[in-house]
Each structure stands twice: as structure tokens, then as C-alpha cells.
Amino acid sequence: MKDNEQLVQLVDERDNPVGTMEKMEAHRHPALHRAVSVLVFNSSGDWLLHRRAAGKYHSACLWTNACCTHPWPGETHTDAARRRLQEEMDIAAEGELAHLFDFVYQAKVNDELTEYEYDRVFSLTSDEIPHPDPDEVDEWRYVTTDTLHQEIMQYPSHFTEWFKLIFKRSAGT
């Protein structure tokens, strides 16, 4: 593992770099840092979701978008999105990753950790079958927008905080 893989890029509210910090420290003492989230849709428009592995340091066993990560210092948002989609779901983002939007959020994810992220959201249309890393993903599925909306409304605690915000903005719900 490279030294910079455990660092996050600290940013201001406009995504201008202001320094770096060790990843866990940035979550223990919330510091605004970069993140990317990737939404994957199949050709029918269904959402690719995965349930985070039980061993994840936060938000374990919750459903979320195809992948997310923290760009390494000096790594572009797009390169980080492609890297993580390959690492986590074994999907090569050969198609165009579309930049959908950026947003800032803060959410307590357990008793000790808080996410405080400037999140850049991308989307990709792909019918490639995921082969997820079992250290990251317990299971995956495709789901329609209507079904996903119903599930989030009925069982909000089953989904990550960031994904609920992304879904609301992406699906206009």
C-alpha cells in the first residue's frame, strides 16, 4: 500500500485543496475532504447497488451505490472513480463517466466517526457483470428507481447516509 493511500485530500467548500490528513483522523475529528461516488445503471436504467461488507470500518452491511472512495492526494476525481470501480466491483469503466453533481454533507456514521465530504458523483451505464471484492461487498443487485424509492422510504436505516442524499438528488424524489 502506498503511503498516500491512507491520506485524504482536505478541501474547502469549493473543492480547493488545503492540505492532507490521515484518513481515520479525518473521520474522528471531522475535516472536509474529497470523495467520489459512482452510480452504475444497466441499459434498462436499473441501479447497481451493493451491500457493504460486514468488516467495513463504518456503515457495514448497509446498501449503497456501486462504489465510493477518497481520491488520493494528487489523483483526479475521475481517476479515483475508475480505480475504485475496478477494485471494488471489477467493472472497467470503459464508457464515459458522466459527472452528475458535487455536494457537501456531514453525517455521523457511528459513535466515533463522522463523514464530512465534498463528494463528486459520477454515473456510468454498463451491462458488465460485477465480480465484487468480498472484503468490500457482501452482495449486489440491480433495482428499479421505483423499487429503490419505496425501499428507502420504508427502510431508510438499511442505506448509507450519503447514498440517500445522492438518490434524492439524482432521482428527484
Catalytic residues: 68, 117
Identify which of 104, 129, 92, 109 has the alpha carbon closest to the alpha carbon of residue 33: 104
Provide the grid cell at 9.
Answer: 485530500
What is the DSSP secondary-structure string of 19-76? EEEEHHHHHHTT--EEEEEEEEE-TT-PEEEEEEPTT-SSSTT-EE-SEEE-PPTT--
Q: What is the DSSP pairing of strand 137-143 with strand 47-52?
A: antiparallel
Q: What is the DSSP pairing of strand 17-22 with strand 67-69?
A: unpaired
